[in-house]
Amino acid sequence: REIRRVSERLDDLPSPTLQLLPLHGNLDLAAQHRIIAPAPPGIRKVVLATAIAESSLTIDGIRVVIDAGLSRLPQFDPVTGMTRLVTRQLSRAASEQRAGRAGRTEPGSCYRLWSTTQQAQLLAATPPEIAQADLAPLALQLLRWGVSDPLELRWLDPPPAAPYAQALDLLQHLGAVERTDTGWRLTPHGEGMAALPMHPRLAHMLLTGTRAGLRDRACDLAALLSERDPLDSRDADTETRLDLFKGDIRRGIQRRLRQLSRQFRHHCKAKVDHQVDAPSDPRWTGYLLACAYPDRIAQRRGNGRSYRLANGRAAELNEADPLQKATYLAVAQLSGRAGQANDRIHLAAELDTALFDDELAEQVTEVDAVAWDSKTHRFRAEREQRLGVLRLASQPLARIPAGTREQVMVDFVRREGLALLDWPEATEQLRGRVRLLRTSESGAREPGNWPDLSDAALLDGLEQWLAPALAKVTMRDAFKKLDTRALLLALLPWPLPKRLDELAPERIEVPSGSMIRIDYTREPPVLAVKLQEMFGGATTPRIANGRVALTVHLLSPAGRPLQVTQDLASFWSNGYSEVRKEMRGRYPKHPWPEDPLQAVPTARTKRRTPR
């Protein structure tokens, strides 16, 4: 891409003597000869090269090298199981190698697009290939030699642990290896794979395809996937590439692909053990690719060109690609860069979903999914057919294992928090009453066994108080309909409910005879009452066997606080006279006696107060 971009910029230069020649690994033989051959007299040759020109190549007439200081290297990602091209700074050794391309046949110069200081900061050498490569071929051959642990051998650079473990996982998925008490070993299928001169993925595809009577198509595909993409096309359909194996040979790449396919036919000794129907049907291309790349089976998301792979990655086709209509794809080649959300699909085939029921049935697993669906906000209990992370089909579970439903719901509440439930005033008052008695009796001689109803304790104990009420809850909104007060009351064993009403009553009688509600959401609890109703009350009201004095909010006739106190006697003696002086003019219809302790308590005005 970068070479094409630079070439387009240089094409604008008004120089008839300039010959632009791109050099990369996808050129045919004739184009390679034009680059190596001397330039015609009077023509200046400019070669736009990848790192392929870095070593082992001498181009006649090159006197100047312009080095951008970057290199694109393949790097295996053990997380995704794919090899990506990563652009990074080159090493000092590579920069010196590139400089050596100038002056091979005559004096020359090298221009580096970075400073001498930066040159000294470069890595001394390019990291060894074994530290960045797909190690599946290496792991397969080591096991063929009887080496179950690579550290049994002496290496210049040992294979890194994570990519090697990824390689073994892949080989196990392909049926090539199995774990024993003494380590890993090859299966008979793995022995056959190791004998073939190709990547294990392609070897598995070739053996599996041959046994199904698809040897010719499998060999053509293996040849195609062993080379660079022969078509410069944004179309990802593999079938258009397979057409190169038909008809007359018109391009050098066709000759090379057909020769490679013949070699694979010669090497593959597997026998047909079951012949599929209509082996020439294009649907088998998708099947074979799915055998080689089971982790890259892709399911379309929505109606666009985006797909989700079986390994969890996201990928997309180019715009207007005919494969966009396919619900499922088997993806052979894709690319991406670290940090990008979506990979780009370069080579794929449509995958017939009927294959999941027969030829690909071994890759499909059945999973009982009992979970809370965060997208639909409802409880889900289904038997799913899955391929990797892809959900192929599902049906409702006839029976849910005992306790599973409740645990799923409880875990969901624990994640979301108690705000998922409804906490009306009555429930909060109940929690406050229990909290008060739990605290006030903590040092008593015979404390009650009052439960802890704090948020933390309720979350810890969801299984005890909430789970039994979740049998009919299926949607998020249904949580708000649960009676939390009744659920918490159920935590009080007999005779605690009776003692609760005795020690921490919801209401208390004041001197006027009114039953006033106590607010237990505050500490200490609050009794908000009109001042006139407390006439004659010499002491502060108490609860919990007299251990807790209420905080009395003495209210004006309009319900506004005039005084807050926990010492009612002190207020009558010291504060009442000032309140009386200020309020009697503002509320003349209400009694404001000089001696409140001798006055008749009332909730009425003077006119309505009985004499």
Residue type at 60?
A: D
Residue type at 474?
A: T
Residue type at 310?
A: A
pLDDT category of residue 513 using cuts at 50, 70 and 90: very high
Residue range 495-509, pLDDT digits in tens: 999 999 999 999 999
Residue bearing tokens 């192929």: 392
Give the right CATH number for 2-127 from 3.30.360.10, 3.40.630.30, 3.30.460.10, 3.40.50.300.
Answer: 3.40.50.300
C-alpha distances (whole Å) from 513 to each of 90, 276, 509, 532, 592 are 92, 93, 6, 12, 19
Residue bearing tokens 């670290």: 338
pTM for this entry: 0.69
Residue range 75-129, pLDDT digits in tens: 777 666 667 777 888 999 999 888 888 877 788 899 999 999 999 999 999 889 8
Give residue 442's pLDDT: 74
HSE (side-chain half, CA atoms, 13 Å) at 135: 23
Residue 445 pLDDT greater than 60, yes or no? no
If phi over 0 gives left and psi between -120 and 50 gives alpha, with beta otherwise, what is residue 417? Answer: left
Residue 158 pLDDT greater than 90, yes or no? yes
CA distance 387 to 393: 10
Residue 77, strand partner residues: 82
Residue range 215-238, pLDDT digits in tens: 999 999 999 999 888 887 789 999
HSE (side-chain half, CA atoms, 13 Å) at 283: 12
Give residue 86's pLDDT: 78
> Which structure tokens are listed for 523?
């500490």
What average pLDDT score do residues 40-66 get? 82
Q: What is the mean pLDDT of the chain?
A: 89
Residue range 530-572, pLDDT digits in tens: 999 999 999 999 999 899 999 999 999 999 999 999 999 999 9
What's the first-to-final CA gap in the chain, in angstroms? 103
C-alpha distances (whole Å) from 38 to each of 4, 105, 374 are 22, 11, 67
Locate the domains of the chain by residue range: 2-127, 196-363, 370-397, 412-502, 505-583
> Which structure tokens are listed for 423?
């906490």
403 contact partners, CB below 8 Å, separation of at least 6: none
